[in-house]
Amino acid sequence: MRIGELASKTGVSVRVLRHYETQGLIKSQRLSNGYRDYHFHAVERVQWVRDLLACGFSTRQIREFLPCLENGNIDPQKCTAKHIAKLQELDEMINLLTERRRRLSERLAILGVSVPKGSE
Q: What is the pTM of this model?
A: 0.74
| Secondary structure letter of residue 30 according to DSSP | E
Query: What does the domain layout of the chain look like in residue ranges?
Result: 1-74, 75-112
Bigger pLDDT: 64 or 12? 12
pLDDT given for residue 12 in this prediction: 97
Residue type, 93: M
On whether the CB atoms of residues 36 and 30 are closer than 8 A, the answer is yes
pLDDT at 72 over 60: no
Yes or no: is domain 1-74 CATH 1.10.1660.10?
yes
On whether the CB atoms of residues 68 and 75 are closer than 8 A, the answer is yes
